[in-house]
Every structure is written in C-alpha cells, then in structure tokens.
Structure 1
Amino acid sequence: MTLLSPADFAERAGCTEAQLSALRGLGILGGDGSGHDAGDVNRVRLALSLEAAGIALPDLAEAIRAGLLSLDFTGQLMFEPVALTGIASENGIAGLGLPVDVVRRMRSAMGLSELEPGAPLREDDRELLQLIAAARAAGLSDDSLARVLRVFGQSARRTVEAMRDLFRSQVEEPMLAAGAGSGAMLASTAALRLQLQRLGFRALHLLQRRMLEDAVFDNVATRIQEALPARPAGVGATSAGFTVVFADLTGYTMLTHRVGDAEAAEQAATFEAIGYETALIAGGRFIKSLGDGILLQFGDAATALDTSFRLRDHATILALPPLRIGLATGSVVPRDGDIFGRTVNLAARAAAEAAADEVLACDATVEQMPAVRRPSYRFTAREPSTLKGFPAPTTLYAVSRA
C-alpha cells in the first residue's frame, strides 16, 4: 500500500486538504489524516464530482452507512489510474510553445473537452500535448494533424464504448435483473472489470485509456445516482437540473463517400464552429465535439430549445447535412471539463432516434419550459419506446415551431 502525504494526495485528487478533512469527517474517506492510500484518489474524485452534480456529501455518507452502496471498489476503477500533475493547464501549454487555439482545435478533433485555465493537468493530457508539439516540430501541418487525431479519437471512442456496452449487457444487467442492487453489483464486479480491462486495453495507447476511463466513470456515476434514495424536491444544488443538447450531422458516413474525406471533414469542422459560437452567444457551454456530433449544456430548457433551432437554421443556411437533435433535462456529473450521467446518455439516445431535421426532447425538458414560452413550440408525444441503456420505456416529444 502506497501512502501519500495529505498535500501530495490532495494534488493527485485535484482538491484541497480541507476537502479531504471534510470527507474524513463524514466517513467517506478513511484514515486519521497523517497519510492517505494512493488507491483512494478515485474515491475522492468520484465523491466530489457527485457533490458537484447536486448530491450532497452528507446524503452520500448516509447512503454508505445505510449499506445502499460502498465506494470501496473505486480502488479498482481503472487498471492504470491517471493522476493530476500539479501543473496548471495554461503553464503546461505555454511551456511547450503551443498556441492556445491549436491546442483547442486538436483536443476538439480528438473528442476531448477544452482544458480549463487554472485546472491542474492530467498526466495523459500533458503527454498528449507533448506529442502534439513533437508532431508539429516534425513538420506536420495543423490541418493534417487535426485530421489524423480525429480518426484516432473516433476509433478509440468506438472501441471503449463497445467494451462498456459488453460489460453492461453481459455482466451488470444480468446481476441487476437477478435482484442485485446497484451498489452491491458495482462492488462485486470490480475485480472482473479489472481483468477485462487488462485483456482488452493493455496494448492501447494514452488516448484509448482516457476514453475508457471516461466511459467507466460515466457508468459508475449513473449507477450511484440510481442507488441513492430519491431526494425531496428542492434538495441539492440543481433541483431543476441542466438541459443537455446532443446534435449530429445526418448521413455523415455517406457524405464522406459522396464528397470525399477532406470535404466531409471541413463540413464537420464548420458544424463544430457554429455549434461553439451559437452556444456561447446563448450563454451555454460547448462541452465537446464527437467527430460529426457536438454536446452542449444550458442552464434552462427554453434557452436550450431556442439554441437548437438556431443551430438547425445555421446548418441549413450553410448547406450542411440535416441535423438530428436530442434534448434531455436533469442532473449531470461534471468531471475534467466533461459531463456524464443519465441526462447526457438520454440526450444522445434522443438524437439517435430523431429523423433528419428533427428535434426530440424528453418529458423533463418539456415540463421545464415556462408557460410563457410554450406557445412558441408544438410538442408531439411519440409512442413510448425502450432506448438502449434505459430499462423502462421512454416517451420522447417531437418539437416544432408553432
């Protein structure tokens, strides 16, 4: 067992020593404060991310005491855990002589979120920056580097999502169907998760490992949200929740065959650019690009819906392929500039169900629309359907301008 000083442990976990003390006081983190097990870094990062999502730490601690869940498995969350470096992101970028706009473009091409100023760099983020700097020094143009990184990112994400879905369908879902609670299931499958990760990903590189960690964290955060008791209305940081928008270009694969990879990539880049600008103007957040899709976050449903239609109008004006847009409202789990959880998954599933030029929203999004804004839109309920990853039938609403 590797023990770290409180200062070193806090640096790796990306928090303060005061936060560690609070977690110890609640019983979420063990020990007397003199030293910390390096394996508990993920426990702290997961607990603080859930707090940021609106789950109060006392509620989490009470659920642990009541036996609804345990965080002991977090030491086995990843077979090669990634630590933070203690280097601020802007300092790491400046030290390599990389322009900020180039870093933003390359990370977007890979499907990674933008680095936040002042936030400590992850070890893998620092090495990826070093690789980008080395590739540019070797003479690769930014356009060619962005194209190959986009291919790397899309391939890596498809790989880890296939692994995640296999684990869910073959390991987790059968246990849940047999009556196991989410907390017990997460604890009992931890060792198997590690074994399968080693078999599937030992030979893969840093970007693939990062994508795997994102997918695992998303799944764990979702299961813990399911395991916790429902909170009364008004309890928590976000009672109404955020509205997440997932939008992608329809028929992108066919587009590459029709106009070629280079032109298709340019259209995807144009789509990303208008998504970024449209979200910012509306006061929302551009979370990340996913090749031919984008993920946005807004503080309320009305702004998210207005922006979705503006985005669709811009795409039409620029002669881009038709968009498919999905909206979902609820809590999200923020982590490393990205967002995870059931709300994000539902927005992606809604977009996948949408037809070309169609906007689909979940019932929570429709319910959050202010009465004064409802006359601007028509909401037509579809027949409830079972979406991938959601056990109960879900009702989606086709939204159109009134």
Structure 2
Amino acid sequence: MGEAAPEVSRTLGALLLGEVPSLTRVEVAERAGVPLDLAVTLWHQLGFPHRADDDVAFAESDVEALRLSAELVQIGILPPESQAALVRTWGRSFARLAEWQTTLLAGRAAADGGPTTGAGLTELANDVLPRVEALQSYVWRRHLASAAEHLLEDASTLTAAESQLAVCFVDIVGYTTRSRSLDGAELVQWVDGFEHDTTALVVDHGGQVIKTIGDEVLFTVADPAAAVEVALEVTSRGADEADPFPAVRAGIAHGSVVRRLGDVFGSTVNAASRLTSAARPGSVLVDAGVHRALSEQDERDGGDDEAPWRFRRARRISAKGFDHLEAWRVRSRSAD
C-alpha cells in the first residue's frame, strides 16, 4: 500500500471508533474531569497502547468512557481493591475478541478476492460492524439475565465470599502427541470440536464453563451428580473409536469455592486439578466431597442397588498442598 497506508489506517480507525481522533490524552482527561495519572492507569490496565501527551489519538468517545469509569468508581461498582483486576479482565477479554474478529474480517475479504487491508477491508467492516456490535450487546445481556437468575436462586450468595460447588477439569489424553500429527487447521477443528461438545453438555446439565485452556476445560456446577454425569459422558465418548471426540480424563471435587471475575479459586479447585492429573485415560476421579454427596443421594433414592454409578476406592494422591488426597474412581453402572 506504500504511502497510502497511514491514510487507510486513519480511515479504518475512524470507522471503528465512530469518529476521527482529534484529542490528546491530556485533553481527554481534562474534559472528563479525571486526573491524568488515573486516566493513564486505566488505559494501561485495559491494555491500550502507550500514547505520548501530544499524540492526537483520542476521540470524544474516550472522554465519555473515562467519565463513565470515574462514575462507576464513585458509586462503588469499581472499588479500589478490585478496580485493577476488573479493568484488566475487561481489557484482556475484549482484546482477544477484537483480534479474533479482525482476523475473521481479513479472512472474509481474502475469500471474496478482495484486499486484506485498505479500502476493501474498510468497506467490509462498515457493513459487518453494526451487526457484530448489536449481537455482542444481545449476548452480554442474555448472560447478565442468566447470571442474575442463578444468583437470586440462592439469596445467601449475594453477600457470601464463597460458594459450595462441584469443580471439574476435563483433560485431553495425549494432546501433545496428537497435535504434532495435525496441521494448523486440523488442530483448530479438533480442539474446537472438543470445546463445543463439552460446553454443550455442561450447559445442558446446569453448569458453567469457567475457561478453556487448550487441551483442558474447567467447569463448575452446583450439583455434584450433574458434574459426574458430564464427566462420564465425555469419557465414554472419548473411549468410542468411532466418535471423533478425543480421549479424555476428568477429576471432580466438591466444596467451598471462591468466585472472582469469572474465575474460581481455592483448595477445591486445586483438588480437582490434582485428581485430573492422577486419573488414568478414560477415567473419572472424585474427591471425598463428591463421594459423600453422591452416597447420601443414593441413600435417599433407595440404596446402592438403585444408584446409577459405582465407586471404587483409589490410592490416596500425594500432591503439593494436600496430605494424601482421598480419591474414588466413579463408573456408570450401565458400563459394567
């Protein structure tokens, strides 16, 4: 593109921002009524690139965003003790989303025979951006409604620092070896299939996927039985050679969990991770909390003869932070 590159970049930037940048960061802070050092801190936490005081790289939308951020701090939605972590989470999440969406736009432009930069990409963004923005708002509000519904089902969670949850890790067996035999597109398709099918099962059982880490999915659910059902289903599918779903193993722990910014922490999470690492391919290991909860449920339902699963005591697991972690292997009765 040569000398036209800066002009095209400015045009595309103005389109994505909704206006042509005309302000410096100093001017933005002054108009928003926010100290410059606080504004710079917020921008750093959001992951925005560094700008000098005289760089004309901001717009009126930045003024409004900074003013809104200051108001959220004032009313306590962004308290000082959690402000940095929350803002960083926003920044990381939207940065990943923006990078992925930009790649999709460039790929579509290339597939249509047009340039992946310049006026062609600008025209495509102008057509697609409003639709993507509206859809993102819809998805966000639907998740807000779902989160509020779950939160209000148990009023005690409104102020509680911890929740009682089943935590499960599902880990692909032999991921490193298999990934070496696949090209980039095949690897993405394989991992996407694993994440898609696992997420669908989790959601269908009332759970929540906390995060995916390449070859691993972490999810939580209030009912330990539901976590076991998901884990047994994915390990069963992984053992079926006719099913493209990968071979997996899983570990589940039940107990007190700390929720923070969409993630979960605490010894229960650590126990589930250690159980997963110790599980054999195609197996599900659970801790004492899950074993106790399911055993009590079996008794309420009429005894072991009616239980949909069987337990077998496994060797205690030696792991950092645990003194001989108790473990049971759980299997579906129908698999016997």
TM bucket normalised to smaller: 0.5 to 0.7
CA drift of 1:398 comes to 0.9
Aligned to 2:195: 272
Distance 1:348 1:140, change over 3 A: farther
Q: Kindly indicate whether residue 292 of structure 2 is the aligned counterpart of residue 360 of structure 1.
A: no
State whether residues 287 and 339 of structure 1, in contact with CA within 8 Å, keep that contact through their aligned partners in structure 2. yes
Q: Kindly indicate whether residue 78 of structure 2 is the aligned counterpart of residue 17 of structure 1.
A: no
Aligned to 1:324: 249
Q: Could you say what secondary structure the match of 2:245 adopts?
A: coil
1:387 maps to a residue whose letter is A
For residues 18 and 137 of structure 1, what CA distance do their matches in structure 2 show? 38
Aligned match of 1:398 in 317, 329, 334? 329
Distance 1:342 1:137, change over 3 A: same
2:317 maps to a residue whose letter is S
Q: Could you say what secondary structure the match of 1:392 adopts?
A: strand
Give 1 or 2 for the bigger CA radius of gyration.
2
CA drift of 1:18 comes to 6.0
Q: Kindly indicate whether residue 254 of structure 2 is the aligned counterpart of residue 251 of structure 1.
A: no
Residue correspondence of structure 1 range 3-402 to structure 2 within 5 A: 8=69, 11=72, 17=75, 41=80, 43-44=81-82, 81=84, 84=87, 122-139=90-107, 237=160, 241-315=164-238, 316=240, 318-369=243-294, 370=297, 371-372=299-300, 375-388=307-320, 390-402=321-333
Deviations 1:52-100 (A, max 9, x none): xxxxxxxxxxxxxxxxxxxxxxxxxxxxx45639xxxxxxxxxxxxxxx
For residues 241 and 82 of structure 1, what CA distance do their matches in structure 2 show? 24
1:290 maps to a residue whose letter is I
TM-score by length of 1: 0.46
User: Aligned-pair RMSD on alpha carbons?
Assistant: 3.7
Distance 1:372 1:268, change over 3 A: farther
Higher RCO, 1 vs 2 (CA within 8 Å, ≥6 residues apart): 1
CA drift of 1:387 comes to 1.3
For residues 166 and 85 of structure 2, what CA distance do their matches in structure 1 show? 30
2:219 maps to a residue whose letter is L
For residues 125 and 257 of structure 1, what CA distance do their matches in structure 2 show? 28
Deviations 1:175-207 (A, max 9, x none): xxxxxxxxxxxxxxxxxxxxxxxxxxxxxxxxx
2:87 maps to a residue whose letter is L
For residues 254 and 324 of structure 1, what CA distance do their matches in structure 2 show? 16
CA drift of 1:265 comes to 3.3
CA drift of 1:298 comes to 0.8
State whether residues 162 and 258 of structure 2, in contact with CA within 8 Å, keep that contact through their aligned partners in structure 1. no
TM-score by length of 2: 0.54
Q: Could you say what secondary structure the match of 1:320 adopts?
A: coil
CA drift of 1:360 comes to 0.2
State whether residues 235 and 283 of structure 2, in contact with CA within 8 Å, keep that contact through their aligned partners in structure 1. no
Distance 1:264 1:136, change over 3 A: closer
Distance 1:309 1:385, change over 3 A: closer
Q: Could you say what secondary structure the match of 1:271 adopts?
A: helix
Distance 1:250 1:7, change over 3 A: same
For residues 343 and 135 of structure 1, what CA distance do their matches in structure 2 show? 38
For residues 333 and 350 of structure 1, what CA distance do their matches in structure 2 show? 19
Distance 1:263 1:386, change over 3 A: same
CA drift of 1:304 comes to 1.1
1:295 maps to a residue whose letter is L
Distance 1:126 1:304, change over 3 A: closer
Distance 1:83 1:319, change over 3 A: closer
For residues 76 and 323 of structure 2, what CA distance do their matches in structure 1 show? 41
CA drift of 1:348 comes to 1.5
CA drift of 1:339 comes to 1.9
Distance 1:239 1:7, change over 3 A: closer
Q: Could you say what secondary structure the match of 1:122 adopts?
A: helix
2:262 maps to a residue whose letter is G
Q: Could you say what secondary structure the match of 2:285 adopts?
A: strand
Please list every run of 5 or more consecutive structure 2 residues that lacks an aligned counterpart in the other structure. Answer: 1-34, 40-66, 111-158
State whether residues 283 and 329 of structure 2, in contact with CA within 8 Å, keep that contact through their aligned partners in structure 1. yes
For residues 76 and 85 of structure 2, what CA distance do their matches in structure 1 show? 23
State whether residues 209 and 220 of structure 2, in contact with CA within 8 Å, keep that contact through their aligned partners in structure 1. yes
State whether residues 326 and 354 of structure 1, in contact with CA within 8 Å, keep that contact through their aligned partners in structure 2. yes
1:298 maps to a residue whose letter is V
